[in-house]
Amino acid sequence: MTTFLGMPGPPADATSELRGSVPFPVAAEAGLTNSRLRRNLSKATGTIRAKRAAVVAEVADWEELREAGRAIKEAALARLPELLVELEEQVEARGGVVHWARDASEANAIVVDLVRAKGVDEVVKVKSMATQEINLNDALEAAGIRAIETDLAELIVQLADDRPSHILVPAIHRGRAEIRQIFLEAMPGLDPGTLTDDPRQLAEAARAYLREAFLRARVAVSGANFGVVETGTLTVVESEGNGRMCLTLPETLITVMGIEKVIPTWRDLEVFLQLLPRSSTGERMNPYTSTWSGVQPGDGPAEFHLILLDNGRTRVLADPAGRSALHCIRCSACLNVCPVYERAGGHAYGSVYPGPIGAILTPQLTGLTGDSVNDSLPYASSLCGACEEVCPVKIPIPEQLVRLRAEHVEAYASAHRIPSGEAAAMRTASWIMGDATRFARAGRSARLGRKGIRSGRAIVPLPPPLSGWSSSRDLPALPEETFREWWARTRGGERR
């Protein structure tokens, strides 16, 4: 589709949670060498992969559903400006207030002002990627407002002053024993003598801790999985019910939603309510689906604010080749099947969006410069394609990774006058392989290299990046003649 969607907006805030401090290969070391993380991740992703596969196999028209999901997202994005304005009208017609935020700092400032106006110094939070992305919690803290995460895994991350490592299960890298320790240190009144690492006991401790917060809270902050335009309805799907508590008990509800989350109708929602739980938790249906449209006197919050967040999204939208990354419904299926994610862990991506979707979305939100840390993300994949195969909205992730690699190389070339060593090597290889005579000569001289290899190892240590190969793999024995030499020798004259 070549729909023109206007000028790209600015990239996401540099201060946002979308950038690590070191490139992926370096950041990955910490995960790769952490035996507890490796064990936890391989067990957790293995379990969820199997559950997903089983419940997806039950749905006879799964492929049609995926295609419907993709098509709805594509069509909605193609008329996003109009849908957003209509959503605003519908929400306001039902007593909600709509705010527009260009980036993280604008969104955070709006939330802070709203909370301050209520005269409270504490909010409860529904698990939300959008508020992670803008690092709302730190902005609130700077304003003297305490944010309490109420999703169990998110709470664990918060109490440990840690970073999330998975979209759905932010504490996937933590084990039971660690969680017990975190709770003991952070929750007053727990008895180390009786609290074990039994999941039920841990959940019970969190429940008691959170219940007080729910009853106290006067303001809640949430994200949204979907914004249904025709009725101005926001939706949150979850497993624990803690989100439902936040969405119904406090007097004021503030929702931060990425602008790409709009879908036109309830009929569209039907498709996603089938795709999401099966892809995400491997359940046929998620236990809690909350929907709300503006405010209802005597029922739920009396005040509702919707903040529509850009933060780099219009930038992604303006690129026809990249905009399908905005189809993402944050199910995390691509993380769970990714062999790179499973081994390196979510922190290696340096962004709140880890895994395959993070590798394409993060650099598009922040922009590629040729040198930035996020320029390493499109390379954090073997291009095996497992992600695309499971994605419920059919985002062609490998194709996008390949294109973003090209954008990285092109950005580097335009930012530097001297080509990188890699670029020079690639140029030379292209020159040699662009011509059969040169290529044949190179093939012949490769034979000279035979003497330089003994028992699969180079006699002289290979320089980087080739040392990456020889660190764990032998080199193949070089043949006595190339195929073309063999052909010419045995079938000479038959040259075509």
Partner 1 sequence: MRIGLFVTCLGDVLFPRVPKATTALLERLGHEVVFPADQTCCGQMHVNTGYQRDALPLIRHHVEVFERALADGCSALVAPSGSCVGSVRHQHAEVARRLGDDELAQRAGAVANRTFELSEFLVDVLGVTDVGAAFPHRVTYHPTCHSLRMLGVADRPLQLLRAVRGIDLVELPDAEVCCGFGGTFALKNAQTSTAMLADKIAWVRHTQAEIVTAGDSSCLMHIGGGLARLQVGVRTVHVAEILASTEDAPWGSGEVPR
Interface residues toward partner 1, by CB under 8 A: 24-25, 28-29, 32, 321, 339-340, 343-344, 378-386, 388-389, 399, 402-403, 405-410, 422-423, 426-427, 429-430, 433-436, 439, 442-443, 446, 456, 465-469, 471-476, 478-479, 481-484, 486-488, 491, 494-496
End-to-end CA distance of the chain, in Å? 42
Using the contact rule CB under 6 A, the part of the chain among 215-223, 369-377, 386-394, 476-484 near ligand SF4 is 386-394
**Stretch binding ligand SF4 (CB under 6 A), from 30-38, 81-89, 390-398, 413-421:** 390-398
CB of 30 to ligand SF4, least distance (A): 23
Does 166 engage in binding with ligand SF4 (CB under 6 A)? no
Among the residue ranges 47-55, 150-158, 218-226, 385-393, the one whose residues contact ligand SF4 (CB under 6 A): 385-393
C-alpha 119: how far from chain center: 35
For residues 29 and 371, which CB has a smaller minimum distance to partner 1 in the complex? 29
Nearer to ligand SF4, 224 or 391 (CB): 391
Q: Which is nearer to partner 1, 14 or 53 (CB)?
A: 53
Candidates 56, 205, 395, 409; binder of ligand SF4 (CB under 6 A) is 395
CA distance 342 to 45: 7
Please identify which residue in 232, 250, 322, 392 interacts with ligand SF4, judged by CB under 6 A: 392
In whole angstroms, what is the distance from residue 378 CA to residue 400 CA? 8
Q: Which is nearer to partner 1, 200 or 451 (CB)?
A: 451
What does 448 bind: ligand SF4, partner 1, none (CB cut-off 5 to 8 Å by kind)?
none
Smallest distance, Å, CB 355 to partner 1? 13
Binding window for ligand SF4 (CB under 6 A); candidates: 72-80, 135-143, 340-348, 392-400: 392-400
- Of 68, 139, 391, 409, the residue at the interface with ligand SF4 (CB under 6 A) is 391
- Coil vs helix vs strand at 306: strand
Map residue 226 onto helix, strand or coil. strand
18, 104 contact by CB (below 8 A): no
DSSP H helical segments within 311-459, as ranges?
313-317, 333-337, 339-344, 355-366, 386-390, 397-415, 421-433, 436-448
Give the 3-state secondary structure of residue 290.
strand
Rounded least distance, CB 328 to ligand SF4, Å = 3
Nearer to partner 1, 246 or 397 (CB): 397
* Near ligand SF4 in 321-340, by CB under 6 A: 328-334
What burial letters (b/e) apply to 296-320, b meaning 16+ CB within 10 Å?
Answer: eeeebbebbbbbbbbbbbbbbbeee
* DSSP per residue, 137-196: HHHHHHTT-EEEE-SHHHHHHHHTT----SSS-TTTT--HHHHHHHHHHHSTT--TTT--
377, 393, 401, 409: residue in contact with ligand SF4 (rule CB under 6 A): 393
**What is the torsion angle, in degrees rounded to the nearest 10, for the CA atoms of residue 30, residue 34, residue 36 and residue 41?**
50
The 3-state DSSP composition of the chain as helix, strand, coil percent (nearest 5) reads 55, 10, 35
Beta carbon of residue 388, minimum distance to ligand SF4 (angstroms, whole number): 8
Size of the site for ligand SF4 (CB under 6 A): 14
Q: Which helix (H) or strand (E) holds 222?
A: strand 219-222
Q: Give the CA distances from residue 470 to residues 343, 448, 457, 462, in Å, rounded to whole numbers and listed in that order.
A: 20, 19, 7, 7
- CA distances 4 to 78, 264, 318, 435, 438, Å, are 8, 20, 7, 40, 45
- Compare residues 296 and 420 and give the one whose CB is closer to partner 1: 420
| Binding footprint of ligand SF4 on the chain (CB under 6 A) | 279, 328-334, 357, 390-393, 395
